[in-house]
């Protein structure tokens, strides 16, 4: 819907179809990059959780 609004200039200045395609390509590339960053972050946090089990054990009562 937003693509059509931009292409036909409804409520915004009209953009050409090649420009709209370039914007879509830019967004799709960054979406893949950010998903890769998210996966690396999640893997690092999982490793960190596995290494910090000492903080999750109950305190021994004496």
Q: Which residues contact 18 (CB under 8 A, 6 or more apart)?
A: none
Is residue 59 one of the residues assigned to a domain?
A: no
Domain carrying residue 34:
2-47
Q: Is residue 9 part of a domain?
A: yes
Domain-embedded: residue 61: no
**Is 53 domain-assigned?**
no
pTM beyond 0.85, yes or no? no
pLDDT digit string, tens, across residues 8-51: 999 999 999 999 999 999 999 999 999 999 999 999 999 988 87
User: Helix-strand-coil percent breakdown of the chain, rounded to 5?
Assistant: 75, 0, 25
Residue 6 CB neighbour total at 10 angstroms: 19
- How many structural domains is the chain composed of? 1
Asked, for residue 57, whether it belongs to a domain, the answer is no
Residue 39 maps to a domain: yes
């Amino acid at each position: 819907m937003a693509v059509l609004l931009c292409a036909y200039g409804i409520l915004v200045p009209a953009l050409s179809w090649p420009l709209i395609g370039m914007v879509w390509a830019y967004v799709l590339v960054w979406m893949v990059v950010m998903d890769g960053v998210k996966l690396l972050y999640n893997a690092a946090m999982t490793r960190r959780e596995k290494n910090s089990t000492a903080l999750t054990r109950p305190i021994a009562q004496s």
